[in-house]
């Protein structure tokens, strides 16, 4: 193990990790917002829009992220739409993650018993009040575990961003391997970088889930 090589290129990996966190974080947050909107459309069975959401979900979940990125980065310029690598990464992750988040949110909304909604109606609560005070608090508890799994999944999917020349962790690792062939050192730094990103996320969600199960939230 060449520790001097690791020390020399650790700042470069740190810079790449920061870019990965920023792009992955923005894409994940937007996917959660997209998923929530889609889940509410399905939950309330809004005409026309529910069919659009179903089509989007099927398309998103049944095509690899790398194919979606290629379409954005190489396909759209043919139509005169040129996006940066960063924009392609965010849009691609949002498009993929939105469908998974939608299914998780929709399943969580379905855990609220109809009897509780009927009870809210009997108390003269309108639809907004019912969703705010009855449905959302219970659905949020049920959604924590699947949302955590989705977040970790999406952050790991950022490893394919290098395919569209985004200088993330994987791009940096492949570039350094191609130049110096210090495979062991570079892959070790790559593994450690992803662990440093993903373990805190997993820990935070685990803590949140335990607090919810104990009734502290």
Residue 147: CATH number of its domain: 1.10.3720.10
Contact 94, 30 (CB under 8 A): yes
What does the pLDDT read at residue 124? Answer: 65
Most confident of 62-76, 106-120, 164-178: 62-76
Q: What total number of domains does the chain contain?
A: 1
pLDDT digits (tens, 9 = 90+) for 58-105: 999 999 999 999 999 988 888 888 888 889 999 999 999 999 999 999
What does the pLDDT read at residue 173? Answer: 87
Mean pLDDT of the residues in the chain: 85
Quick one: which of 191, 194, 192, 129 has its CA closest to 155?
194
Does the structure show a pLDDT above 60 at 183?
Answer: yes
For the chain, give the percent of residues with pLDDT over 70.
92
What does the pLDDT read at residue 8? Answer: 82
Q: What is the extent of the structural domain holding 63?
A: 3-213
Contact 83, 166 (CB under 8 A): no
**Neighbour-count burial for 86-118, b at 16+ CB within 10 Å, e otherwise:** bebbbbbbbbbbbbbbbbbbbebbeebeeeebe
Q: How confident is the model at residue 118 (pLDDT cuts 50, 70, 90)?
A: low
Which pair of tokens denotes residue 57?
């979900």
Quick one: which of 59, 58, 32 has its CA closest to 146?
32
Q: What distance in Å separates the CA atoms of residue 211 and residue 217, rounded to the nearest whole number?
A: 6
Does the structure show a pLDDT above 90 at 172?
Answer: no
């Amino acid at each position: 193990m060449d520790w001097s090589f690791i020390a020399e290129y650790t700042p470069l990996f740190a810079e790449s990790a920061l870019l990965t966190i920023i792009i992955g974080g923005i894409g994940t947050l937007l996917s959660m917002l997209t998923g929530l909107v889609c889940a509410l459309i399905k939950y309330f069975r809004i005409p026309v829009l529910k069919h659009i959401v179903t089509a989007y979900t099927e398309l998103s979940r049944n095509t690899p992220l790398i194919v979606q990125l290629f379409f954005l980065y190489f396909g759209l310029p043919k139509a005169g739409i040129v996006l940066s690598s960063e924009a392609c990464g965010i849009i691609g992750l949002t498009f993929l993650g939105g469908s998974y988040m939608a299914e998780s949110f929709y399943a969580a909304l379905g855990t609220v018993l109809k009897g509780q909604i009927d009870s809210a109606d009997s108390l003269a609560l309108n639809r907004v009040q019912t969703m705010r005070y009855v449905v959302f608090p219970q659905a949020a508890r049920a959604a924590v575990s699947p949302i955590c799994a989705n977040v970790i999944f999406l952050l790991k999917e950022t490893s394919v961003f290098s395919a569209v020349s985004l200088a993330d962790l994987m791009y940096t690792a492949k570039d350094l391997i191609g130049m110096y062939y210090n495979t062991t050192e570079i892959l070790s730094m790559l593994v450690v970088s992803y662990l440093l990103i993903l373990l805190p996320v997993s820990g935070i969600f685990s803590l949140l889930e335990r607090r919810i199960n104990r009734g502290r939230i």
